[in-house]
Structure 1
């Protein structure tokens, strides 16, 4: 059992493979956090809580001036009862009071991991994989019950947490803030790592030292967003890729979120993450319950790389689901940057005829295939093939593609409606809106109100019709604007603070029903690229279009940051034309291929305009990726450099689980006159294995490649990439 309880110390000891998480019940009612450490065989209280009289820290028990919640490290703190730090929850009772006493009542330990109501989450396939501790808190005055859930995984250094509120009273209770977890670290200097950016510049790595006060990232856009990813990590001062303690936190949610770190007056650090409380107010009726999203918490004592590989293994095996979880993903060509809206059936077939002999396996028809979709100003919601572009419909086109030996996929954006569409003219009230207010448009479109049952049923019905109309093997599910005027005519005025979250719940219901109905289709999520790259979407769709920016140099930064929590098999990565359509940059086809091969490989260009030499090189790239595909998609990723922005060079490798296959990619981004010699030191090899460099024949011991490294050719050119493959003998 990975969870034990000591009545002597009133301590719960949660053990992962390499870590110990300690909880103590203090004075019979307060749930305190004693630390998250490298693995301990047993907890005997060498560190115990100290209480002294602190000025301006009031006392919930007046007889003891040394005890204050303002200085107690807690598991799920509230506000208004002597703790002045940020609360994990805020509620309002019917009398207007926001003071609550969620005191410890009891606990239970469960074999396995319960699922979450209406929400995605990590899962188990048998009860031996995990144990779950539930700590039940109760406010005896307001009669609000709160269940803190901790699942300890037996094969991963992972603890997942979530919270459930239950109204045991006879009155309505308003939930104003419901974070999925809170964690107090003792006074120690830490750094904060976050993944931030913008559209076409997602998930760049930023690291900063923590200072007194609040540091936070958040989304208020209705989605997890391009701007901030729902992931943060707390790093010890010496932490890098291979050394130091790292604590990673990832929210399994696709809507508004808040992740914050507060350093208090005594240098204690409070970390919490959950649904953004801005514009959130959930009315909990008598007998009802509210479930928060799950947070995945990963501990590493060996730096960021070890933390990343733990996230990768967990997400590949126990977050992603379905047929494609354990299946290599197809190499595709997407017509978007090759044609945009300007195509017809003949043009698409001509592209496919160029792609098939190159070994490409999947042809994806992007935006513009449905009724009157001449540009991005019209027709979203009218999911019927455009008879002018596709006179034979999707079925005829898909069958032509299939005859060439390729599978067929399409693009959809079901959550949106164009003002110029039959759907909007028929149902103008079906979009999110606030009465008597104008409706803001983004990309000439509005957001459908997924809180409404009839809207969800329309989306499910029409998309089901589309997917049933032709032999479709792949769907790219897009979302190209964020939420404004977040209101719904389907709910009362007192429930308008629920709409943002209800939108996400509505989306999850749609995704569950559609993906379950079409288990043989590979679904890829997208939101203007990587605007909704989060664990919640990966639960339904096992890969995400990483960014609308296909420039290889930009993608190096984007993909490096993405791999901090997310595995390579979840990243869509394409080779596009030059000059690049987003940056205007011109880089060699070899570099574009090397960078795209770090994820789910594909192309996004007009093959009919390429030279024969380019086509030959693409054919070689496709053949090569098919050889390395299992290694990239299911192997262990090692980021081989500790370089920070702007990069001079970068390098990464994939190592098979048995340590016998190795792929190394090196990219030089900037050169200087009379430049230095460069060495790449490999990681993750078996020291006593002999590795043969394929194509060269030289043999090296694993320890030599890791400790001494591999000397790179000299000189190297700017934007030059080199790929090495090793195989153990």
Structure 2
């Protein structure tokens, strides 16, 4: 849980997690100033730090610059601002005045006002084991323009060098991991798209350039926000590096005033001394325990009909797929696009959320009942935030979409974006979704969002910029309301693949669609980047047909299954056409996955060999007395023998039995020497090894 203490004499606060300490104080001008972030420190050591005075060493650099807990624009500090305000008389600078603070178990709130203007600022800190959540709240008695409102600024300790770890990508190539030296000046990671985006993800990790998977100090921050976002690293000539981040983008102004407070999303931070692997395991535990609403559940094996049918959906065809899926051991059947309105392609019908009676003459209930009768849950695809111009909804409400007067309405995928910041749009969406779930007994929604914002205007509204924040908040509110009204409902977040993966969405969704690219070879790299921050418990991964529809590559069925089994297993192929041998193997591997599922979805991940080349890559999950190892040979070269695979996370004093071969191994040998690895010959060879501890 952690501990928060107030050092009144030093006007300082200390937040102590299980294996880290964070400390801040007020300087002589009441500016909240960073003191320490790193390995555990006793209170008297923090007191010693609080007495250190930083002298001016030239006439150009404020010694406290870069140490603000929320860097505010103004005065002699020229650091990247986390807070920029503009008062009615044109004044921009902020002057802090401390008012009070509150400590409630794991939560610290420090309250400030501006020394002249009626603006109130509250800085919030909440401990979650070793993850520290931070956010800011702004209120005012008269209207104030807030040009930038980051959730927090995170000053890092002085180091000889800094290295940034982050992910980039695009559609079908999400979460590609990069590590690069931090440039001097400002480096901005951002999305201006209204969604988190495929091209980046709202997190960054920092080390001194020497950290490895197993060793070294790593600092990381991650933003819980599913709209436009910005993370800025600033590295100055003085040597210091900070990270500041939050929602919003350049040119978008937040208005704060009577009845219009502003609360920023959580920007969470984590320190570890155990390298990138320990950092990932801590983030995974945080997501499972403190972010996911049902994080202790086991996610079911899923079947999705999209690749089998596309838009050619019918009750008879879905029944045939459901019967085959149930026979394989699938637990959740999901019908994808094409069940509603005039939706025979992506050009029409989106927004008309009524059952297509030509395809389902008696509605959806007979299919839902049939799926339930087969012992499976029923799920369905929806895209509530979108509309086709060729739809009854758009013809009735053309003003409901994001648009500017006198500007064209740009279409992507024949779609426009509905303005969920409008209460009438939110009410409409809740009405049909509540009816769809409640009347049909729907257990699962695949919630898609297939295009970013464009022409993001709101004609006639006095504060149109607010839609950038309020759209996302309205989506959150809708999901929260549906889940409260239907406690059994589970949701998968999707955005053309992995365009909406973030901590904010994971607080509402039970899993995320990682990428539209299901090619098993590509997925090794996509899943590797995903795993840096997010857990397998939420990573939806499918086995689909050969050749893959994105890459055209053909990969053996066993390899495809083994890659998908490292997350939340799903099937997406046309299983009615699979030959008998493939069906038998699929049933066997689904049964295997159900056995190892608690270890994969709730276990600690160890990335044993990353997919940095085309050789053997391997990962391991450890949970309670069990370990599961996945090993994949991507390509065979020069008849090279397989090297022993050194495992992690085991007890060296115990022995472990292989559940399939019956052979036993010393934990010490597995850790120091390695597990003998015998993969089948040739390319795309893979294996799953199950180990159980048999002695203490």
Task: Please indicate, yes or no, whether the TM-score normalized by the shorter chain is above 0.5.
Answer: yes
Tell me the CA shift for residue 647 of structure 1: 4.7
Q: Which residue of 1 aligns with 2:113?
A: 138
How do 1:483-522 and structure 2 match up within 5 A?
A: 483-489=453-459, 491-492=461-462, 495-522=463-490
Greater CA drift, 523-532 or 346-355: 346-355
Asked if 1:174 corresponds to 2:142, the answer is no
1:364 to 303, 309, 334: 334
CA shift in 2, pair 1:680/1:136, >3 Å? same
Decide whether the 8 Å contact of 2:611 with 2:617 is kept in 1: no
1:204 to 176, 195, 209: 176
Find the aligned partners of 1:70 and 1:330 in 2 and give their Cα distance. Answer: 52
Q: Secondary structure at the match of 1:640?
A: strand
CA shift in 2, pair 1:631/1:51, >3 Å? closer
Q: Which residue of 1 aligns with 2:317?
A: 347
Find the aligned partners of 1:33 and 1:476 in 2 and give their Cα distance. Answer: 42
Find the aligned partners of 2:680 and 2:523 in 1 and give their Cα distance. Answer: 24
2:673 to 708, 716, 720: 708
Decide whether the 8 Å contact of 2:528 with 2:611 is kept in 1: no
Decide whether the 8 Å contact of 2:524 with 2:611 is kept in 1: no
Decide whether the 8 Å contact of 1:69 with 1:82 is kept in 2: no
Per-residue CA distance 1:83-103 (angstroms, 9 max, x = gap) = 111011000000112111124
1:422 to 371, 377, 392: 392
Tell me the CA shift for residue 395 of structure 1: 0.6
What do you get for the CA RMSD once the two structures are aligned? 1.7
Q: Which residue of 1 aligns with 2:193?
A: 221
How do 1:105-116 and structure 2 match up within 5 A?
A: 105-111=99-105
CA shift in 2, pair 1:41/1:208, >3 Å? same
Decide whether the 8 Å contact of 2:55 with 2:63 is kept in 1: no
Tell me the CA shift for residue 716 of structure 1: 4.0
Asked if 1:459 corresponds to 2:418, the answer is no
1:261 to 227, 233, 244: 233
Q: Which residue of 1 aligns with 2:158?
A: 187
CA shift in 2, pair 1:343/1:277, >3 Å? closer
Decide whether the 8 Å contact of 1:252 with 1:294 is kept in 2: yes
1:723 to 668, 688, 693: 688
2:601 to 633, 652, 674: 633
Asked if 1:53 corresponds to 2:56, the answer is yes
How do 1:83-98 and structure 2 match up within 5 A?
A: 83-98=77-92
Decide whether the 8 Å contact of 1:262 with 1:269 is kept in 2: yes
Q: Which residue of 1 aligns with 2:303?
A: 333
Q: Secondary structure at the match of 2:394?
A: helix
Decide whether the 8 Å contact of 2:403 with 2:455 is kept in 1: yes
Decide whether the 8 Å contact of 2:633 with 2:679 is kept in 1: no
Equivalences, count: 690
CA shift in 2, pair 1:72/1:446, >3 Å? closer
Find the aligned partners of 1:469 and 1:691 in 2 and give their Cα distance. Answer: 50
Q: Which residue of 2 aligns with 1:679?
A: 644
Find the aligned partners of 1:34 and 1:644 in 2 and give their Cα distance. Answer: 39
Find the aligned partners of 2:651 and 2:322 in 1 and give their Cα distance. Answer: 43
Find the aligned partners of 2:352 and 2:561 in 1 and give their Cα distance. Answer: 36
Which residues of structure 1 form unaligned runs of 5+? 59-67, 112-130
Find the aligned partners of 1:337 and 1:49 in 2 and give their Cα distance. Answer: 63
Greater CA drift, 667-676 or 429-438: 667-676
Find the aligned partners of 2:199 and 2:383 in 1 and give their Cα distance. Answer: 21
Q: Secondary structure at the match of 1:531?
A: coil
Greater CA drift, 305-314 or 410-419: 305-314
Find the aligned partners of 2:52 and 2:191 in 1 and give their Cα distance. Answer: 36
Which residues of structure 2 form unaligned runs of 5+? none
Per-residue CA distance 1:212-247 (angstroms, 9 max, x = gap) = 111121000001111111111112322121111111
Q: Secondary structure at the match of 1:667?
A: strand
Find the aligned partners of 2:72 and 2:489 in 1 and give their Cα distance. Answer: 45
Find the aligned partners of 2:100 and 2:495 in 1 and give their Cα distance. Answer: 43
2:127 to 131, 152, 156: 152
Per-residue CA distance 1:261-294 (angstroms, 9 max, x = gap) = 1101201111111013323211112464211101
Tell me the CA shift for residue 69 of structure 1: 5.8
Q: Which residue of 2 aligns with 1:619?
A: 587
CA shift in 2, pair 1:549/1:715, >3 Å? closer
Q: Which residue of 2 aligns with 1:694?
A: 659
Q: Which residue of 2 aligns with 1:26?
A: 27
2:135 to 136, 157, 162: 162
Decide whether the 8 Å contact of 1:367 with 1:412 is kept in 2: yes
Q: Secondary structure at the match of 2:379?
A: strand
CA shift in 2, pair 1:27/1:391, >3 Å? same
CA shift in 2, pair 1:287/1:372, >3 Å? closer
Find the aligned partners of 2:156 and 2:536 in 1 and give their Cα distance. Answer: 31
Q: Secondary structure at the match of 2:169?
A: strand
Q: Which residue of 1 aligns with 2:547?
A: 579
Asked if 1:282 corresponds to 2:254, the answer is yes
Decide whether the 8 Å contact of 1:176 with 1:277 is kept in 2: no
